Amino acid sequence: MLIVLTGLLIPLISYLAYKAGTKPDFLPINCVLFGYSCPHDIPVQGYYDEKYKSIYDLFLQNFKNGLEVGAGLSVYVDGQQVVDLYGGWKDPKTKIPYTNDTLQMVFSSTKFLNAIIVAQLVEQGLLSYEERIATYWPEFAQGDKEN
């Protein structure tokens, strides 16, 4: 009997330890282990062009899978906005919804976009890498800095 129990318990404990150790950051442990108290009724607002409904579905699934707490997403195609979504929670404990006015910390996540934009402007002849920043942004030169 002990061998049978051990043969059942070891795989079960291993499975539970694996699930607990690999759970997404924003998913309750009881959802991961037992399938209850999983996120539902997640508020998502905004709009999307029907051709891009799959983006809405993926956006919502991110919350259900515990990969996001609150987020916003905007997608442009050929200069036209086709998706503008925001959802989840600003504060999951108090259930304050994430809205289009919720401030988001982005840290350095936009540096690569700025670099691409500057490179395109240089390519178009509108900026030069050799020119001082103050040439384009005079206020930047305050406090004895020019570049």
Tell me: the pLDDT tens digits for 43-78?
A: 999 999 999 999 999 999 999 988 899 999 999 999
Same domain, 22 and 63: no
Count: domains in the chain: 3
The answer to whether residues 66 and 100 belong to one domain is yes
Question: Looking at residue 50, what DSSP letter applies?
Answer: G
54, 108, 109, 128: which is the annotated catalytic residue? 108
The domain containing residue 64 runs over which residues?
39-104
| Catalytic site includes residue 108 | yes
Q: Are 64 and 97 contained in the same domain?
A: yes
- For 105-141, write each residue's pLDDT tens digit: 778 888 999 999 999 999 999 999 999 888 888 888 8
The reported pLDDT for the residue numbered 51 is 97
Q: What is the pLDDT of residue 76?
A: 97
User: Which contacts (CB < 8 Å, 24+ apart) does range 98-105 have?
Assistant: 98/43, 98/69, 98/70, 98/71, 98/72, 99/45, 100/45, 100/46, 100/72, 102/70, 102/72, 104/72
Q: Looking at the structure, tell me whether residues 92 and 111 fall in a common domain.
A: no
Residue-level pLDDT at 63: 92
Question: Quick one: 78 and 51 in the same domain?
Answer: yes
Q: Tokens 């934009």, residue?
A: 117
33 lies in the same domain as 55: no
Q: Look at 120 and 17; give whichever has higher pLDDT.
A: 120
The reply to whether 43 and 79 lie within a common domain is yes
Question: If you average pLDDT over residues 1-21, what whole number do you get?
Answer: 75
Residue 50 sits in the same domain as residue 90: yes
Indicate if 68 and 32 belong to the same structural domain: no
Q: Does 146 have pLDDT greater than 70?
A: no
The residue ranges of DSSP E strands in 20-136, in sequence order, are 44-48, 70-77, 80-91, 96-97
Do 99 and 119 fall within a single domain? no
Check pLDDT > 70 for residue 12. Answer: yes
